[in-house]
Amino acid sequence: MHSFSFSPLNVYFDNHTGGLSFSAEGVLKKENNLYKLLILGGSELNFLGGRKDSFIEIDALFGKELFIADWFYLDIFAGVGYFNYKEPDQESNGMIENQTAGVPLQSKLRFQTKSPLAFGVQLHANMNRLNTIYNIGAFIQCNNILKLRCIENNIPMIKSSNYGSSFVINSKGKVLFKSSNEFNILKQ
């Protein structure tokens, strides 16, 4: 796994309402491509009680990581996903639940720290036939899970791979060697 991030408090809006939302995601990296599984949900703010609009989406996204500086990155993603939207039914005094496919688009401005942690701002939109949702919020991201495991267990690690990067990481999480060459031993 390349990274894991979560956004505990985001704000979403659509064409008639808004509210608070949260998200969690896991990202795999293969060569220069990012593959993400994202879960995002939210609910309308309603201080007087009553029924509220709410949504949840589960998305599979493809993206790229754009290097701007040693400490600053821009990640961009697009994909497909499942979108579930609930809204109050004025006639029956219940809730109407609708489901559809959506097209999520996301960008993340990421500030990388010296540790495996990064933080930043994410912009997200889910375009679908029910209700296009826009989302903005801060996130915390744990990059390079291998570094974190070395620090957590206070042991060094050697990761060998035929189809990607190989690493040597010390017990403090510092990468001592990284090979991005693909050896192609098994490819014919």
Give the CATH number, domain containing residue 44. Answer: 2.40.160.20
Burial (CB count <10 Å: 0-12, 13-18, 19+), residue 151:
middle
Residues 108 and 160 in one domain: no
Q: Name the pLDDT band for 104 (thresholds 50, 70, 90).
A: very high
Residues 65 and 33 in one domain: yes
In a domain, 25, yes or no: yes
Q: What pLDDT, in 10s, does the model give residues 106-163?
A: 999 999 887 778 899 999 999 999 999 999 999 999 876 777 778 878 888 887 766 5
The count of domains in the chain is 2
Three-class DSSP category at 51: coil
Residues 29 and 61 in one domain: yes
Three-class DSSP category at 121: strand
Kindly tell me if the per-residue pLDDT of 101 is higher than 70: yes
Highest mean pLDDT among 10-19, 125-134, 164-173: 125-134
In a domain, 185, yes or no: no
In a domain, 184, yes or no: no
Residues 157 and 124 in one domain: no
What is the Cβ-side half-sphere exposure of residue 102, based on CA atoms within 13 angstroms? 30
Residues 81 and 106 in one domain: yes
Residues 88 and 166 in one domain: no
User: Residues near 152 by Cβ (< 8 Å), separated by ≥ 6?
Assistant: none
DSSP string, 62-99: EEEEEEEETTEEEEEEEEEEEEEEEEEETTTTEEEEEE
- Residue 89 has a pLDDT of 85
Residues 156 and 115 in one domain: no
In a domain, 187, yes or no: no
- Residue 184 has a pLDDT of 46
CA distance 31 to 94: 49
Q: What pLDDT, in 10s, does the model give residues 44-96?
A: 877 666 668 899 999 999 999 998 988 899 999 999 999 999 988 888 878 89
In a domain, 23, yes or no: yes
Residues 122 and 172 in one domain: no
In a domain, 111, yes or no: yes
Residues 56 and 120 in one domain: yes
Residues 11 and 45 in one domain: yes
- Residue 2 has a pLDDT of 80
Look at the block and give the residue holding tokens 């795999």.
28
Higher pLDDT, 40 or 112: 40
Kindly tell me if the per-residue pLDDT of 187 is higher than 50: no
Q: Which domain holds residue 107?
A: 3-143
Residues 67 and 116 in one domain: yes
CA distance 156 to 147: 9
Among candidate residues 67, 55, 63, the one with its CA nearest the CA of residue 36: 63
Q: Which residues pair with 38 in a beta bridge?
A: 25, 59
Higher pLDDT, 185 or 145: 145
Among candidate residues 140, 142, 149, the one with its CA nearest the CA of residue 170: 149
